[in-house]
Structure 1
Amino acid sequence: MIELKTKLQLADEDLNYGSLYYTVFPVPRSSVATLLEREHNATRVLVKVNGRGNLSAGLMPDGKGDFFITVSKEVRRKFDLEEGQAVVLQISPDDSEYGMPLPEEVAELWAMDEEAYTVFHTLTPGKQRGLLYVIGKPKRPETRVKKAVQIFEYLKSVGGKLDYRELNAYMKAENERW
């Protein structure tokens, strides 16, 4: 585990990511050099903020040789963070298969539907992570199950060729039927 002192700051406007992210934790390359030597998921990490929580995150390149970790509004609220606030990050490697926890509902669905498992694994790791995030985000298990079923039925119907707009339209139409 690596311990690092940094500050929550606004994303640099002059860099490529400035318009995408509002706040970030800057991370010097020298601080995470050993993590970057890993073969699998080298930039995927688990982060504790001031000794609390366990966030799944990615080390994003800043275009200047260092990295940053994006900090969403939800994370700022959860940890009561404000711009300019100094924090201590405890960063450890995320060696999980998907770079984030696998929702229980997905594992159960795969146990019943081998085709869903197969088509999911034709996707890139980033798309896999994104879909797992969408499925795992709702608080209610019923909602997570519904999203998992909808996403995997969509993927099977298109042979694993994911189009996010099409998926959203599919899910919206399915929600009207549920």
Structure 2
Amino acid sequence: MEFKAIIENFNTKLWSYHLKVPHLVAKHFLEQGIKRVVCSLNKTVEFQCAIMSAGDGVYFILINKKIRDQLKLKEGSKVEVQLTQDASEFGLPFPVELEEVLAQDKAGKEYFDKLTPGKQRNIIYAAGQVKNPDLRIHRAMVLVDHLKKNKGKIDFKQLNAELRSQ
């Protein structure tokens, strides 16, 4: 589905830059149980994201700094948006390094598989956000070790400290 939108800013600590998804477009996906979509902006940048509710029938998609910088977008910028269903299993690219660590660590894989989809995405995102492949391997090991130490629970404060000390 295609529509035009304006980049807006919530100006809160939780959420900032976003674009509003028209109610009928959001309804089209959400009525089918689809929250995760692939979003294309100005037919140049494509990324996986979620249609989120702000309440009162308002839906939005967050636009991160990397994408805004890539397209030179700022608050008030107009964009062409195309949304399609995200058919991937996790809703974002799965780093090969994390896949390899999980393949070699049975207990870590069991804990990962028991996480909610949102927490699985947190782990996948954290593993993949480093550019250096050696650091991605180390980060994947830290993430899986964290799951094992905490019996499948994620303590975000502790995990962030562990990731910073790598």
Give the alignment's TM-score, normalised by structure 2.
0.92
Q: Does residue 44 of structure 2 align to residue 47 of structure 1?
A: no
Measured in 2, the distance between the counterparts of 1:123 and 1:7 equals 35
Alignment identity in percent? 33
Q: Determine the structure 2 residue equivalent to 1:5.
A: 4
- The answer for the alignment partner of 2:17 in structure 1 is 23
2:137 counterpart of 1:145: yes
Q: CA deviation at 1:69?
A: 0.6
Asked if 1:111 corresponds to 2:110, the answer is: no
Q: Where in structure 1 are there 5+ consecutive unaligned residues?
A: none
Distance 2:29 2:40 in 1: 16
Hey, what's the Cα distance between the residues in 2 that align with 1:170 and 1:77?
Answer: 29
Q: C-alpha separation between the residues in 2 aligned to 1:165 and 1:20?
A: 16
**Match of residue 166, structure 1, among 155, 158, 161:** 158
- The Cα of 1:72 is off from its aligned counterpart by 1.9
Q: Compute the displacement of 1:53 (Å).
A: 1.9
Residue 64 (structure 1) aligns with: 56
Query: 1:131 matched to which residue of 2?
Result: 123
Q: How many residues align?
A: 166
Measured in 2, the distance between the counterparts of 1:90 and 1:138 equals: 28
1:54 to partner: Cα distance: 1.6
Consecutive unaligned residues of structure 2, counting only runs of 5 or more, are: none
Structure 1 length-normalised TM: 0.86
Which position in structure 2 is the counterpart of 1:95? 87
Instruction: Name the SS of the counterpart of 1:25 in structure 2.
Output: strand
Residue of structure 1 in register with 2:30 after alignment: 36
1:160 corresponds to which letter in structure 2? G
Residue identity matched to 1:78: Q
**1:38-69 Cα distance to aligned partner (Å, 9 max, x none):** 34xx2111111000122111111021112001
Structure-2 residue corresponding to 1:73: 65
Residue 33 (structure 1) shift: 2.2
**Cα RMSD for the two superposed structures:** 1.5
